[in-house]
Amino acid sequence: MSATLDAEALAGHPLPRLPVGSDKEDRGAVLIVGGETIMAGAAILAGVAALRVGAGKLQICAHRDGVAAMAVSVPEARILPRRSRMRTGPTLQAAAGKASALVIGPGMDTMAHERRLALALLEAAPEIPAVIDAGALPDPQSHRPFSRLSGGRAIVTPHAGEMAAMLGRDKDAIKADPLNAARDASAILQAVVVLKGATTFVVSPDGTAWRHDGGVAGLGTSGSGDVLAGVIGGLLARGAAPVVAAMWGVVLHASAGAILAAKAPLGFLARDLLEVLPNALARLDRSPDAVR
C-alpha cells in the first residue's frame, strides 16, 4: 500500500520555515557534482533548479576544460575545477564537507569510477544529505558500502531502467511491481528512493510509501530528471529532511510541468521548468509564514 502524494499530503509534511530576514547563508549551500564537459548542461540544470527553489548558494564541480564556459553560463555559482573524474581531491572533499546538500550524478556516465566518486564524497561529508542520480547510482556490488554511508540521509532518484541495474533485476520486473522494487531498494540502501515514471513512488527506509500520479507527458524530456535532482537538493539545503525534500520535489517538479503543459502539452524544455519553479512553489507552500 502507498499513500497519495499531492498538495494535501505536503501540508502534513511542511518545509522548514525560513527567517523573515533570511539571507543566503540561512538558505544553505548546494554542491553539484556532475559528469564530463560534454554533459555539463545536466549540472547547470540541477544547480539552477536548486537556486530556484530557495537554496542560498551554489557550487558546481566541473571538469577544468569547461570551467570558463560554466562560469559564464551560471554566473550565480562558484565553479570548482576538477582535474580527474577518478578522484575527489582535497578541494572537492572540503567543499562537500562544508555544503548543506550534495547532488551527485547529473550528466555522469554509468561507470564504476563514478560510483566510487559518490561513495568517496559521502564518506568525506558524513553528515551532509545527498541526492544520488544517474551514473552515480549504486549497483549491487556497492550496496553494502552505500548503505553504511547513507544511514538514511541519501536520496536515490532512478527511473525503471536504472532501478533494474541498481537491484540486478530485469527492467520488466521493475515495471510490473515498482512499489515493491522501490521498497526493496530503500531497505537495502538505507536511503529514500524516488522511483521516477508516469507514476512516481517515494519510499523511506522504514517502508512508508507515497504514490504520485500527477505528472504530465511533457516532463518526459531530456534534462527533466536533472531538474528534479536539483529541486530536491535545493530543498535539502533549506533544511528539509530527506523524505520531505523528496516528497516536495516530486510534486513541485510535476506542478511546474503542469504550468507549462497548460500552454503546450509537449515540446517544452527542461530549462523552461526553471522559470516556473518559483511560482509553482508559491502555489504549493500556502502556510502563513512562508517566504515568497
- Residue 78 located in a structural domain: yes
Task: Give the domain range for residue 221.
Answer: 28-284
| pLDDT confidence bin for 225, thresholds 50/70/90 | very high
Residue range 229-253: mean pLDDT, rounded = 98
HEC per residue, 164-230: HHHHCCCHHHHHHCHHHHHHHHHHHHCCEEEECCCCEEEECCCCCEEEECCCCHHHCCCCHHHHHHH
- Residue 14 located in a structural domain: no
Residue range 156-160: mean pLDDT, rounded = 98
- Residue 21 located in a structural domain: no
| pLDDT confidence bin for 18, thresholds 50/70/90 | confident
Residue 63: what pLDDT? 83
Q: What is the pLDDT of residues 37-74, one digit of tens each?
A: 889 999 999 999 999 999 999 999 988 888 888 999 99
| pLDDT confidence bin for 292, thresholds 50/70/90 | very low
- Residue 273 located in a structural domain: yes
- Residue 6 located in a structural domain: no
Residue 36: what pLDDT? 82
Residue 287 has pLDDT above 90, yes or no: no
The three three-digit cell numbers of residue 98, written as one number: 562544508
- The structural domain count of the chain equals 1
Residue 31 has pLDDT above 70, yes or no: yes
If you average pLDDT over every residue of the chain, what do you get?
A: 94
CATH code of 90's domain: 3.40.1190.20
- Residue 160 located in a structural domain: yes
Decide which of 281 and 291 is more confident: 281
**Cα end-to-end distance, the chain, whole Å:** 35
- Residue 188 located in a structural domain: yes
Residue 82: what pLDDT? 82
What's the pTM? 0.96
- Residue 3 located in a structural domain: no
